[in-house]
Amino acid sequence: MLRAISNRLVILIPYVWLLFFFLLPFLIVLRIALSDLEYGAPPYTPQFSYTDSWAVIWDKLSQFDFENFTFLFSDSLYINSYLSSLQIAFVSMILTLLIGFPLAYGMARAPLGLRPTLLMLVILPFWTSFLIRVYAWIGILKQEGLLNQLLLWLGVIDTPLEILSTNKAVYIGIVYSYLPFMVLPIYSTLEKMDESLVEAARDLGCTQIAAFWKITARLAVPGILAGCLLVFIPAVGEFVIPDLLGGSGTLMIGKTLWIEFFNNSDWTVASAIATVLLVVLVVPIVWFQNAQARATETGK
Amino acid sequence: MTGRWSWFNISSVVFGFAFLYLPIVLLVIYSFNESRLVTVWAGFSTKWYGELFRDQSMLNAAWVTLRVGLLSATVATVLGTLAAVSLVRISRFRGRTLFTGMVYAPLVMPDVITGLSLLLLFVSINFDRGFWTVTLAHITFSLCFVAVVVQSRLVTFDLSLEEAAQDLGCTPFQAFMKVTLPVILPAVVSGWMLAFTLSLDDLVIASFTSGPGATTLPMKIYSQVRLGVTPKINAVCTILIALVTTGVLIASIMNKRRAMLDARAAREMS
Amino acid sequence: MPSLGSIRRSFTPWEDAGAKPYISFKNVTKRFGDFTAVDNLSLDVYEREFFSLLGPSGCGKTTLLRMLAGFEEPTEGELYLDGQPLKGVPPHKRPVNMMFQSYALFPHMNVADNIAFGLRQDGMEKSAREERVAQMLKLVKLEEFARRKPHQLSGGQRQRVALARSVAKRPKLLILDEPLGALDKKLREETQFELMDLQQQLGLTFMIVTHDQEEAMTMSDRIAVMDKGIIAQTGTPAEIYEAPNSRYVADFIGSVNILEGKVVSSGDGHVEIDGPDGKFVGAVRSHAPADGATAWFAIRPEKMRVSREKPDGVDNAIKGEVWDIGYLGDMTIVNIRLESGKVVQAAMINQSRIVDDPIGYDEHIWLSFSADAGVVLDR
């Protein structure tokens, strides 16, 4: 009896907290996305207020307007922002995988005594401020920056490359910032893998490369998917990287939302953007999670 | 098998770490640059650090950040541990799926969405924006990270330990406090550290939920970075990096020492 | 003709000086950093032999197998398979297959695909492959489990899949690393005989690594007992058990009582030693140790007789007190404390169900044994 009460308390405190500070805010975003814009503070007219009776709410629901959403789809700026975010996040994800997999593989094959140190070296940047790590690239990538100085000095180029304020810099920033998220899940699947599986494949007639593709790469799929999920999803909504490293031509939805909210004070459009972004992200989240569940099932 | 770390593996690890660390190292080096131009080396100097400590607005921002960080990390650790216990120990309760979803969703949720939605909540309940709103927002998203960290330790916890404590006369609450908590303490501590650094790092959510007089350090850094790269920012960043690195190193050395003591004890027994 | 042990063997190629060894280790050394895993070791194994490498963990037996399979290259020395040097031949080109200790079943493939893996690798065409897989499944009695994934099988079934996969390619030589290590005792005993049948049926050479002496004794034609990178003794199970060449081998296989003393006289294939536990006469293995040298009399518990009165006309008899009795069903183990304070073990086979006057605790008894019942060892 006492146990039941204490159990209930244990759940109730975080549960109520999350309901109030996580779920409720989303419902508010949705509500504002469905209201009309009017200037003032707060700059929106709610479609219905908390005191409305259900009958009134129902009445209003039936004449709901999706004006803000229609607006999003009528202006190519928003659609292009979504598409460009997805594209940038996808390309960055692939680039992160190309750098992250060899790193994770090399770590998993490192001498046993060295592995904890290597693991810590991957985690350490994750503890360092995201903003600082992005900022560090500005000095490297800009016109008179360190990279151009080095390349000019080496004689590889005659005129400085233009990297900062282009999408290239955004790719570099995302790959750099999210690399640990790719490396860690891949490393943990590779590290757990029984190395005698590769030896068995070699024993049964595989060359080293064939054994790598048929066994190692195949069994790392859950880790690769998890890594891709952890890079792709936050990268789509990224704000700091496109804002600091990208140029005026870099369209990303996080940045568009920020501008809409802080510069244009258009809360309703910002809310509509957030709602659509969430809908866009639900698809990859569910898809990835299903694929992962399938992979773990067959991988056991 | 050890002893077969091929050149390919070594070079991919070296390349990977060079990529991860070179930008940070350069940033630290150029914080000691005499010149105002960040990218032109003009001799060693610590003058930017001196200037930094005379910048009252920067110091204020650091103070706000520190208070937000300490408070939000502590509350988030308590709530996150409770959430982890509910997820691991109580296999069925009403709305468990919703609860699990709410715990995991913030881990991948874009900051702009979290920030915007929390701001709209505070506006609609007429809560004045400032120190408290930033703190509440930070508690909310970092409690989920704490929950995940503690949960991963709690699933491997041998429940019979707690049962043994109860068998020896503890109430369930006492058993948790005297047996379970000490065992999962390392995870709780690293959960706290994670929550603290998340709060220290956050720019986007703080920008949405903060109000006048509650400018955090990342917000301050961001507004200066937008105006251009200066050695002063490099100096702030270097101090932050030094603090976090020291913290993480101390924690991992303590872990390592404990592991070594355990290993030695195990050797002595056998 | 009297011989060691209770089996007459007809397959003894190692006694034939003209026989060509199938596997040859010639002065093989393997070092990992400054650790020497295998130390200047030479060994010949013959075709169709069931050969066991027996030793404690870390003695180098697994390293030996891995060199044969091609996962390690010797630091020094040469390996030959059927007369061909193996140096530089990668694992996938060796006509050798291995059954791994962990079984190493591919978790993402079902049983049939696991068995077919090596055949696919060889480019065997589909119909022949399917036929071979079916044959293998039948051989290990897993026909109904072809579509199961490894994690849906029991330990014993997994072991049989691993076995089927490693023999599917019809290798000349099968290497087995602790093949029965993960099975429980009863299943292990059954599987031992299955393995022996399989080896006979397919006419393979088996090279097996184990730390379980009983397993090695049951299955092998010959056993090599290893110790810290070298072979302590090679021989048939009976030779190893009845005529160990050192205290290490005697102690590693089965239980043994070892009584220390100085050699006082020798002759006629026997040696007499005198020590704190008494005077004993025992058989000499190859050459008699010199008079005055320290030697050890090694005798197995089942070769000692326990009686209340001192028996007449025996080579050795010592007095003792019953210290502990353990009834095991098929035999009874008696620990006896000698007058010197040393405790020795005797085993009595329980041939009758009903015993008129069984011995009890604290009784004073006599232990007796003939000179040929034990051997005198010089190391």
Contact B69, B196 (CB under 8 A): yes
Per-residue model confidence as pLDDT tens digits over C172-188: 889 988 888 777 778 88
Take residue C2 and report the two structure tokens written for it: 């009297």
**Contact residues on chain B for A111, CB-CB shorter than 8 A:** 2-3, 5
Q: Is it the case that residue A171 has pLDDT exceeding 50?
A: yes
* pLDDT given for residue A41 in this prediction: 46
Contacts of B245 in chain A (CB under 8 A): 124, 127-128
Q: Identify any residues that bridge with C31 across adjacent strands, giving them in sequence order.
A: C36
Question: In which band, very low, low, confident or very high, does the pLDDT at B1 lie, cut at 50, 70 and 90?
Answer: very low
Per-chain mean pLDDT for chain A: 82
Using a CB-CB cut-off of 8 Å, the residues of chain A touching C71 are 199, 202
End-to-end CA distance of chain B: give it in Å, rounded: 25
Q: Name the residue facing A135 among B85, B112, B237 (closest C-beta).
A: B237
Task: Determine the 3-state secondary structure of A144 from DSSP.
Answer: coil
CB-nearest to A204 from C90, C97, C107 is C97
Is the per-residue pLDDT at C303 higher than 90? no
According to the model, what pLDDT value does residue A39 have?
44
Question: Which residue pairs, CB below 8 angstroms and at least 24 apart, start in A118-125?
Answer: A118/B13, A119/A187, A120/B248, A120/B252, A121/B17, A121/B20, A121/B21, A122/A180, A122/A183, A122/A184, A122/A187, A122/B20, A123/A180, A123/A184, A123/B248, A124/B245, A124/B248, A125/A179, A125/A180, A125/B20, A125/B21, A125/B24
Helix (H, G, I), strand (E, B) or coil at B158: coil
| pLDDT single digits (tens) B214-265 | 899 999 999 888 877 778 888 888 988 888 888 888 887 887 787 787 777 7
pTM: 0.78
Nearest residue to B100 (alpha-carbon basis) of A227, A22, A28: A22
**Residue C321 pairs with which residues in a beta bridge?**
C337, C364
Cα angle: A78, vertex A84, A85; to 5 degrees: 90
Nearest CA to C315 among C367, C378, C250?
C367
pLDDT interval class at B2 (50, 70, 90): very low
Pick from C229, C272, C259: nearest CA to C342: C259
Per-residue pLDDT tens digits for A207-265: 888 999 999 999 998 889 889 988 998 899 899 999 999 888 888 999 999 988 888 88
Q: Using alpha carbons, select from B144, B100, B138, B142 the residue that is nearest to residue B118.
A: B138
Chain A contact set for C165 (CB, 8 A):
200, 204
Helix (H) or strand (E) holding C356: none
The sign of the dihedral angle between the CA atoms of A126, A128, A134, A139 is negative
Residue B213, classed as helix, strand or coil, is: coil
Q: What confidence tier does A170 reach under pLDDT thresholds 50, 70, 90?
A: very high
Give the span between the Cα atoms of C364 and C307, in whole angstroms.
9
The CATH topology of domain A74-299 is: MetI-like fold (1.10.3720)
Whole-angstrom Cα distance, residue A177 to residue A190? 22
Identify which of B215, B242, B231 has the alpha carbon closest to the alpha carbon of residue B58: B215
Distance CA A108, CA C302 (A): 52
- Tokens representing residue B242 in the block: 């030094």
Give the Cα separation of A273 and A40 in Å (integer).
Answer: 20
Find the mean pLDDT for residues C39-61.
Answer: 88
Q: What is the pLDDT of residues B159-171, one digit of tens each?
A: 778 878 777 778 7
If you average pLDDT over every residue of chain C, what do you get? 85
Q: What topology does CATH give the domain B55-269?
A: MetI-like fold (1.10.3720)
Residue B21 reports pLDDT greater than 60: yes
Rounded to whole angstroms, the Cα distance separating C41 from C65 reads 13
Residue whose pair of structure tokens reads 């009399």 in the numeric block: C297
Cβ <8 Å between B9 and A106: yes
Residues 190-219 of chain A with CB under 8 A from chain B are 195
Token pair 């013959």 in the structure block, residue: C46
Contacts of B196 (CB under 8 A, 6+ apart): B69, B70, B73
Tell me the shortest Cα–Cα distance from B70 to chain A, in angstroms: 16
- In chain C the domains, ranked by start, together with CATH numbers, are 13-95+171-247 (3.40.50.300), 255-377 (2.40.50.140)
Question: Chains A, C: CB contacts under 8 A, how many?
Answer: 67
**Confidence class of residue A47 from pLDDT cuts 50, 70 and 90?**
low
Nearest-CB residue to A219 (from C70, C92, C107)? C107
Distance from C-alpha of B35 to C-alpha of B47, rounded to nearest angstrom? 10
What are the tens digits of pLDDT across the range B23-77? 889 888 888 888 777 667 778 888 888 888 888 888 999 999 999 999 999 999 9
Task: Check pLDDT > 90 for residue B175.
Answer: no
In the chain, the amino acid numbered C93 is K
Q: Give the rounded percent of residues in chain C with a pLDDT score beyond 70.
A: 99
Where is pLDDT greater, at B114 or A75?
Answer: B114
Confidence of residue C3 (pLDDT cuts 50, 70, 90): confident
pLDDT at B134 over 90: yes
Q: Is C91 on the interface with A (CB under 8 A)?
A: yes
The CA-to-CA distance between both ends of chain A, in Å, stands at: 40
CB distance A196–C121 less than 8 Å?
no
Tell me which residue of A174, A170, A164 sits closest to A97, measured CA to CA: A174
- Is A194 close to C121, i.e. CB distance below 8 A? no
Task: Count CB neighbours of A113 within 10 A.
Answer: 8
**In the predicted structure, residue C198 carries a pLDDT above the cut 50:** yes
List the single residue in B with minimal CA-CA distance to A195. Answer: B1
Residue B80 — pLDDT band, cuts 50, 70, 90?
very high
What is the ipTM for the molecules in this complex?
A: 0.84
Q: Counting one residue from A and one from B, how many pairs have CB atoms under 8 Å apart?
A: 242
Contact: B106, A11; criterion CB under 8 Å: no
**pLDDT per residue as tens digits for the range C80-105:** 988 888 888 888 888 888 888 888 88
The pLDDT value given to residue C353: 84
Instruction: Give the span between the Cα atoms of B41 and B58, in whole angstroms.
Output: 25
Which pLDDT score is estimated for C317? 82
Which of A65, A11, A13 is CA-nearest to residue A35? A65
Average pLDDT of the residues in B7-21: 89
C-alpha pair distances (Å), C153 with each of A201, B112, C149, C159, C161:
20, 49, 7, 10, 9
- Identify which of C107, C112, C103 has the alpha carbon closest to the alpha carbon of residue C146: C112
If one compares A47 and C215, the residue with the highest pLDDT of the two is C215
Q: Find out whether C34 and C204 touch, Cβ atoms under 8 Å.
A: no
In angstroms, the CA C330 to CA C347 distance is 10
pLDDT exceeds cutoff 70 at A40: no
Contacts of A208 in chain C (CB under 8 A): 90
d(CA C262, CA C292): 5
A2 → chain B, closest CA residue: B172
Which stretch of DSSP H or E encloses residue A103? helix A76-108
